[in-house]
Structure 1
Amino acid sequence: MVVFFRRSSLPILALAILIAHAAIEPVASQAQPRPNNKYGQTDDFRQIDQWLPTPNKYRSASGMPGPEYWQQRADYKIDVRLDDQNQKITGSETIHYHNHAPEPLGFLWIQLDQNIFEPGSDAIATATAPNLSDRASFNTIRSLLARESFEGGFKIHGVTDAEGGPLKYTIVKTMMRIDLPTPLPPGESTTVKIRFDYLINDSKLIHARTGYEFFEKDGNYIYEIAHWYPRVAAFTDYEGWQNKQFLGRGEFTLELGDFEVRITAPEDHIVAATGVLQNGEEVLTETQRERLEKAKTAKEPVFVVTPEEALKNQKDRSKQDKTWVYHAENVRDFAWASSRKFIWDAQGHDQNENPVMAMSYYPNEAEPLWSKYSTHAIIHTLDVYSRYTFDYPYPIAISVNGPVYGMEYPMICFNGPRPEEDKTYTARTKYGLISVIIHEVGHNYFPMIVNSDERQWTWMDEGLNTFLQYLAEQEWEEDYPSKRGEPEDITGYMRSSGQVPIMTNSESILQFGSNAYGKPATALNILRETILGRELFDFAFREYARRWKFKRPTPADFFRTMEDASGVDLDWFWNGWFYSTDHVDLAIRDVKLYQIDSSDPDEEAERKRQEKDKRRPSLSAERNEPLQKRIDLFPGLKDFYNDFDELEVTEDSRKAFQKFVESLNAEEKQLIRRKTNFYVLTFENVGGLVMPIIAEIRYTDGSKQMLEIPAEIWRTNNKTVSKLVITDKELDRIELDPRHQLADTDASNNFYPPRIVPSRFKLYKDKKSSNPMRKANEAKKKSDADKGKESSEEEAAEKKPVAKAETAKPAAASKPAPQPATAEAAE
């Protein structure tokens, strides 16, 4: 039978027609657009396999390492000396290189990343002019001049083989090619030795991932030393030799190996480094060794070097040196820090039966913030990250405060935030410190262990790490002020003109933080919460981390593993979020209501009368109402139609309807009397990035319904789609993305009926800001001073005159305060 529908008049955003869409030919994506013959659209559901490397015996289609996967290895033995008088590094290294590739190598490429500081380096030559104006600080000018005049870069004093025979080498900017006497066959190894030195950069003038900080008040330095030795470049199955020059932004891709490093520094320096200290009995005092042993089972961080001892160290200047020996296994890099200013605290942590020593090094200028939070943040990071990936495999995890604000290396990271000189700090500084430590310690997982190529794909370490950082921050405390991870935090970037695809080389990204950190982290959060759900996502993400632990994944391996382990085709998601610059902006374009028309003439007439009564007359009709009508002056003009009621139901109509009803079966009779609402909701994809449609429908009876439609609804038309909602209830309003989970960039079109989304502005006067902690301290000091004044006045008034002065007794010798065992006690 035919069921008749009638459409009620509702306030609507625009007109639309409910249509059945025919199947259409697949179309192209943002990366390689191909027109759709029917709609002229791009195909946001086109499979991305055609852009990914073809699976082979090294890397499988499932995203796993292939049966013949290989990677190179480089082991290092290094002797290095820190010249504290001239801020200089002098060293010699022995590299034992293992060729696991299925092809012979005629030469080795070595990274000379310190050459970025050479005058005329590509980094300096290609740097665009800063935004100068008619005002500039002295430090700005000093920095500009320093970058032009600093004699940085490696000085290579010899390259030889294992027996000391010279090897030919050629320096190409930040790379060096060492020609081997004979090609190195597959499965064989070779040894090269390099002697080098270089000047360390002043981080205040030349900000970088390494450098020194000078403290004018006490004349001391903190050194944070990174990319300090010539490092073998990566040789991979997907690229061969890594040959992208170091320009500063694209970080590093290196081979895993074992390190034995001897660091010679001034005798009164404390040295922190990648790896395990081998000669503690030689370089540490008995007290320091006892404290370290106590720290292994402590419930709170224990001072190994106390703040008082650090102050003494920075005053006493020894002219002697001592050598710290560190050993690290299966790491891709080695970094270290040295200073006589260091306070040192430590706490042992059991990471699922793997004992880890979490340690922090910082000057007194960092107190009280660092002793309170740094080591705790390290341990918290290991706990959370290990739960989502794999157990932390190293025995050491270190956070160092110095000139480098935030940079990561195996087992050690450099972090910057400090309180102000009066020891107060803002909430921004506190949470900035916790966040940067979580982030940099978290880099042990990505890319230090899951060894991705930072020089090419920044998002593979920064984005994945920022995502896990967000999870760790949210487990630190309720309402933790995370800066990245929540979908609504990335909307400004996603609708900006400076956006480039995530799949962009590191050096070509425009808004680096938003593109390489914020957007991929947000994408993964949405994938976890909205697309896959936590259980599926967590399993797949953990599978990726474990598959590629101590191996070298590419983006294709990540994409394929996430699909393989979740069982969900996510090509549309990678396409939109990683390959395109589309943004999320879904809109409610139209709402229509259809109801079953029973064809009962009496019901139809009554409905029309009610609609007529509700219809407000036009302005002209209202004003014409009192006018004298001609038909009232001449009644003879009236005829049949003046008394005719077009809504009056005739008996013939009733009989016809009754005959129609009698022709129906029992089910059909119930259908025509059913009071069901058929709402057609039409949605528009304004931003171009297809996403699930998440909408909350509220009904007039106060109930609500969550409409969750997978992104595949857009597969045949990625501009406009309609969804039918059948209900006996009356719709009151609809809201798209009510829980802010889609990164929708424009909330103004998310409501039916339309709603005004307010913006606010505040009036203010320019004033110098002060942190809340300082204000509270100042208020307390004033209150204590007032109370002390009142007490002194009362004592003076009550004090009686004394006839004879008594001889003052010597005060009892005061005992030194017990040394606090933990950072909390020190507070």
Structure 2
Amino acid sequence: MTSLIPTTALPLARRVAGLLGLALLPSLALQAQTTNSGTDKFAQLETLLPTPNVFRTASGAPGRDYWQQRADYDIQVTLDDARQALTGRETITYTNLSPDVLPYLWLQLDQNVLEKNSITATTEVSQLQDRMTFNAIEGLLSDFDGGFKIDAVTSRDGKALKTTTNYTMMRVDLPTPLRPGQSYSFNVKWHYNVNGQQVRRNGYEYFPEDKNYLYEIAQWYPRMAVYSDNQGWQHKQFLGSGEFTLPFGDYKVSITAPADHVVGATGTLQNAAQVLTSTQQKRLEQAKNARKPVLIISQAEAVQNESSRSTKTKTWNFAAKNVRDFAWVSSRKFIWDAMGIKQNNKTVMCMSYYPKEGNPLWGQYSTEAVAHTIKTYSKYTIPYEYPVAISVHGPIFGMEYPMICFNGGRPEKDGTYSAQTKYAMIGVIIHEVGHNFFPMIVNSDERQWSWMDEGLNSFMQYLTEQEWERTYPSRRGEPRNIVEYMKTDKSLQSPIMTNSESALQFGNNAYAKPATALNILRETVMGRELFDHAFKTYAQRWAYKHPTPADFFRTMEDASAVDLDWFWRGWFYTTDRTDLALESVKSYTPSTGDPAVEKARLQQLQAAAAPSISAQRNATDLKSTLIDEKPELKDFYNEYNPLAVTAADQQRYAAYRAGLSPEQQQRLGQQQYFYELSLRNVGGLVMPVIIQLTYADNSQEIQTIPAEIWRKNNEKVTKVLVTKQPVISFVLDPFQQTADTDLSNNAFPRQPAASRFDLFQQQQQAAQNPMQQAQKSPAGGEK
């Protein structure tokens, strides 16, 4: 800290009055007159957000004339386990609830992303390396015959309808335009080859040991695209990153598979008596009120079923109401467990399907993670209203659909696993089950804005992980975890508000950065009470509807009375980073005005001050001065002590105090310390200023200044803090809660960065699986 400014140079009355407050005003006035160049970071977002209307209000709530379309499905599908192929037919009933007349309908053909000449394949960039993996070469040489094979599109009476296919979209021209309030039913027949596990989102896994397949089937039927008030048809091509936007409806689905397969799916099983044994039905009933998962199919039963090769088929019938999609799984290998939990006095069946290769991890953790996710998300958003929630272990590491999701995380063959495998598995189950809320219920547009489902869901995943275990090693959510990404060159980043297919670093852009932003909003900007209420309000307003980013932004402000435009602008519309610097601190101590006190203090300062190097050397080198040799040159000032208290001093002080009010006299006797902090916004992202003060007695205090401190000058401000005891250090963001990318400029006085270096003779390889290592004796033998 800087030394105290000498106050004896000022007249006593002016000195005391100034240090008690008046001297603080000029710096604040100067600050208010200064503005930085460029866009005002506190400018409102009205020019960027769509104009409110009768469909979507300025508060962020659905308007009085809000509408959305409906699509109901009746589907029959057959799995060919010998050829890994599907054949299906469906009847779609599309209801036009918009005020518009529709001459045609658009369907999504997402499997076409796997066609040889798909837009994804032809536009994907690639590069040859000196060393290439087999997988990389196979990707370049793949001859997989993917994509939908549309056999027929007909009206209910069997007449062919005119269609036009544009890569992953198909237009169906209607015989007569569909007017508001009308419904139209039509049929689609199709087939396609199921892709292997190397392709994300759906496919099969082959197990060579027992020659079985495990199928996770999704994007498997032609699906209606969304037609909405804010953009008309959402028929952007599916290129691989931007996921799915779908209308709600009811589903009736019949799945025909080998008779020895076990099938799980979105919705509730309608014909349990025909496809399950009496023992399995009893176990399923028992599981409804169980405190821990009940095995419907045990591992021993699943292993026995692996060797079966039935030539017959079995049809499983499922029904689902008010969902936006449908997915299913099928295999001989499935172990199946279940446990019921209560939500709004209704039983939700939390279930898991997994092969023996997933144990012991899956049997111990999967269904418990499903139940924990449903309970935690329901607490922060809306109660889960669907009857089931399913986690399946197979070829896909993580993908979500209504009531069912596909998850990874497999132990070693000896049953051991690393901590990373365990927490990655629990984390992905929480994440994918959590997608039931975002975007399966709060049905945002994934094709356009991945962050609205992945980012919000990753934030909720963080909260749920922390309620699973206090020391849970969450990957995303903690501000310090996003720092390395925020520090990268801006040319390698995209704003969060970037189309899903154009984001440069998809994981950071769609998942990590928005999740961190929401955590900072909750913990640092808004506080938990305001944030939680606003976030729940958003979920309640837009449950089973189609929200946009503007609806989210506006609702968060509407329900909290917090102006967040600066936050959305900085975090979502720019690639600015947090880097607040504490450049300097000036310290002031107000005078008591008492000459006896003040002159004694100055005497102590003079006595403590080290003489200059010249004075030190002159003390020995100069034998005498002219005044020593000629004393007659001395006068009054050679004997005068300006720090001696005189009677005149006492009289002036008494006269000064007599003119003060009792309150002002009390203020003179208080011990107070004034500190002027010079703050700079280096990174461009305005954020609250969180300051830790450490006092002379080593006690500490945290002071939080809202981000609005930067509203008059986005780049540099000063702030005066007043304390009752001296401060020995100031630290910005001591708990790293703002994602500050440079901590070296956060402390005053400056603090060296703490680090260590290792001394070693030979690089040691850390054990990746301590559980496996622990099973061996110190001598290397098995325990």
Using structure 2 for the length normalisation, give the TM-score: 0.93
1:242-269 Cα distance to aligned partner (Å, 9 max, x none): 1210000000000100111111111111
* Aligned pair partner of 2:504 in 506, 510, 533: 510
SS in 1 for 2:236: coil
Show the counterpart of 2:302: 310
CA contact (8 A) 2:88 2:191 kept: yes
User: Which residue, 511, 514, 519 being the options, matches 2:513?
Assistant: 519
Map residues 177-216 of structure 1 onto 2, 5 A cutoff. 177-204=171-198, 207-216=199-208
Distance in 2 between the 1:174 and 1:414 partners?
23
1:159 aligns with 2:159: no
What is the CA–CA distance in structure 2 between the aligned matches of 1:768 and 1:18, rounded to whole Å?
56
Change in CA separation of 1:598 and 1:774 when aligned onto 2, cut-off 3 Å? closer
Amino acid aligned to 1:88: A
1:85 aligned to 2:85? no
- The one-letter amino acid of 1:137's match is T
Question: What does residue 776 of structure 2 align with?
Answer: 778
CA distance in 2, matches of 1:388, 1:426: 31
Query: Contact 2:599–2:645 at 8 Å: present in 1 too?
Result: no
Letter in 1 for 2:659: L
- Quick check: 1:20 aligned with 2:57? no
**Contact residue 7 and residue 592 of structure 1 kept, 8 A:** no
1:633-648 to structure 2, matched below 5 A, reads 635-636=629-630, 639-640=633-634, 643-645=638-640, 647=642
The alpha carbon displacement at 1:78 in A equals 0.9
Of the candidates 688, 691, 694, which is equivalent to residue 692 of structure 1?
688
CA distance in 1, matches of 2:717, 2:356: 62
Q: Answer yes or no: is 1:554 the counterpart of 2:528.
A: no
Q: Deviations over 1:143-186 (max 9, x none)?
A: 3322xx22111111111111110100010011011111111001
Cα pair 2:35 2:714 within 8 Å, conserved: no
Structure 1 residue 706: deviation in Å? 2.2
SS of match in other structure, 2:501 = helix
SS for the counterpart of 2:439 is: helix
**Selected match of 2:721 from 707, 718, 725:** 725
The answer on whether the counterparts of 1:631 and 1:637 sit within 8 Å (CA) in structure 2 is no
User: CA deviation digits over 1:205-235, x for unaligned, max 9?
Assistant: xx22111111111111111111011111110
Return the alpha-carbon distance in structure 1 between the equivalents of residues 627 and 334 of structure 2.
Answer: 108
Rate the CA distance shift 1:663–1:424 in 2: closer, same or farther, 3 A. Answer: closer
Q: Distance in 1 between matches of 2:123 and 2:262?
A: 38
**Any idea what SS the aligned residue of 2:170 has?**
strand
Q: Which amino acid aligns with 2:652?
A: F
Q: Deviations over 1:106-151 (max 9, x none)?
A: 1011100000011121111121115x533233333223322xx221
Of 748-757 and 171-180, the range deviating more from structure 2: 748-757
CA distance in 2, matches of 1:96, 1:781: 69
The residue number in structure 2 matching 1:116 is 113
State the Cα deviation string for residues 638-693 of structure 1 (Å, max 9, x = none).
72269355635585863773575276234455555554322222222222111111
Is the 1:344–1:360 contact (alpha carbons within 8 Å) kept by the matching residues of 2? Answer: yes
* Mapping for residues 702-717 of structure 1, pairs under 5 Å: 702-717=698-713
Q: How many Å apart are 1:780 and its aligned residue? A: 9.2
Does structure 1 residue 454 correspond to structure 2 residue 446?
A: yes
Distance apart, 1:563 and its partner CA: 1.1
Rounded Cα–Cα distance in structure 2 between residues aligned with 1:725 and 1:424:
56
Amino acid in the other structure paired with 1:552:
H
In the alignment, which residue of structure 2 is the partner of 1:748?
Answer: 744
Is 1:569 matched up with 2:567? no
Task: Name the aligned partner's letter for residue 348 of structure 1.
Answer: G
1:439 and 1:662, CA in 2 relative to 1: closer, same or farther beyond 3 A? closer
Match of 1:135 in 2: 131
Structure 2 counterpart SS, 1:735: strand
**TM-score normalised by the chain length of structure 1:** 0.88
Asked if residue 665 in structure 1 is aligned to residue 657 in structure 2, the reply is: no
Give the alignment partner of residue 336 of structure 2, picking from 308, 329, 344. 344
Distance 1:414 1:655 in 2: 86
Please point out which of 522, 540, 548 is paired with 1:528. Answer: 522
CA distance in 2, matches of 1:648, 1:426: 73
| Correspondence 1:356-375 to 2 at 5 A | 356-375=348-367
Partners of 1:662 and 1:633 lie apart in 2 by 42
What is the distance in 2 between the residues matched to 1:620 and 1:661? 41
In the TM superposition, what whole-angstrom CA distance separates every residue of 1:70-110 from its partner, at most 9, and x where no partner exists?
00000011111111111111111111000011010010111
Distance 1:607 1:217, change over 3 A: same
- Residues 401 and 416 in structure 1, CA contact (< 8 A), matched pair in contact too: yes
1:807 counterpart residue number: none
Give SS of 1:778's match.
coil
Identity %: 53
1:97 to 80, 94, 98: 94
Q: Answer yes or no: is the 8 Å Cα contact 1:5–1:595 preserved in 2.
A: no
One-letter amino acid of the structure 1 residue matched with residue 488 of structure 2: S
Mapping for residues 565-604 of structure 1, pairs under 5 Å: 565-597=559-591, 603-604=597-598
What is the SS of the residue equivalent to 1:346? strand
CA distance in 2, matches of 1:219, 1:713: 66
Structure 1 window deviating more from structure 2 (756-765 vs 324-333): it is: 756-765
2:5 aligned partner: none
Equivalenced residue count is 761
Please, which moves more after superposition, 595-604 or 577-586? 595-604
1:487 to 476, 479, 493: 479
2:596/2:645 contact within 8 Å kept: no
Q: Following the alignment from structure 2 to structure 1, what is the Cα–Cα distance between the partners of residues 38 and 634?
A: 59
Paired letter, 1:93: E
Structure 1 residues 453 and 761, CA gap change in structure 2 (3 angstroms): farther
Match of 2:291 in 1: 299
RMSD: 2.4
User: How far apart are 1:456 and its partner, in Å?
Assistant: 0.6
Q: CA deviation at 1:348?
A: 1.6
1:389 alignment counterpart: 381
1:380 to 366, 372, 376: 372
Gapped runs of 5+ residues in structure 1? 9-15, 25-36, 786-827
One-letter code of the match for 1:728? K
